Amino acid sequence: AARAQELERREAELAAREQALLRMEADLARRAQEQPPAPEERLAQIEERLKALQEAEKAFARTQAELAARSEELERRERELRQRERELAIGGGGSAGGLAGLSRAELEELDERIRRLEQRTREAGAGTFGEALRALERRGLRGAQGAGG
């Protein structure tokens, strides 16, 4: 019984291989019967493909030029931004939120006040942002009353 099954399996494999071989032969025969395109037709196909490739090359060149222009524009803007930052750092140039006109001593005084406020907030150990804000408001009001009164 086992031998009969083995023979049947092998016969099925051979039939499948024979079918595949017949399909390959038919495909090869069909290809052999097809006429290659006439030289004029082939030349027209090649020229059409060449034209499409040339158009794609032009589009690629335009894209490269656009990217280069954008890159140059970004570099110019970065330079301008760095220049403005330098001007602000040395206290010059235009209005930058009202800080540009301040002297170095005034900026240091503001910085010191900010540090003191941050330290008080840390020392108070307020749990949430809202609690810390309310604590700062209370201290600010008391500090202003004590200094003014």
Contact 45, 36 (CB under 8 A): no
Summarize pLDDT for 47-88 with one digit per residue, the tens.
999 999 999 999 988 888 888 888 889 899 999 988 888 887
Indicate yes or no: pTM above 0.75: no
97/109 Cα distance (integer angstroms):
17
Q: Phi and psi dihedrals of 98, rounded to 5?
A: 85, 0
pLDDT in tens, 3-35: 888 899 999 999 999 999 999 999 988 888 887
pLDDT of residue 149: 47
pLDDT of residue 118: 75
Can you give the three-state secondary structure of the chain, one letter per residue? Answer: CHHHHHHHHHHHHHHHHHHHHHHHHHHHHHHHHCCCCCHHHHHHHHHHHHHHHHHHHHHHHHHHHHHHHHHHHHHHHHHHHHHHHHHHHCCCCCCCCCCCCCCHHHHHHHHHHHHHHHHHHHHHCCCCHHHHHHHHHHHHHHHHHHHHC
116-136 pLDDT, tens digit per residue, is 877 776 665 656 667 767 777
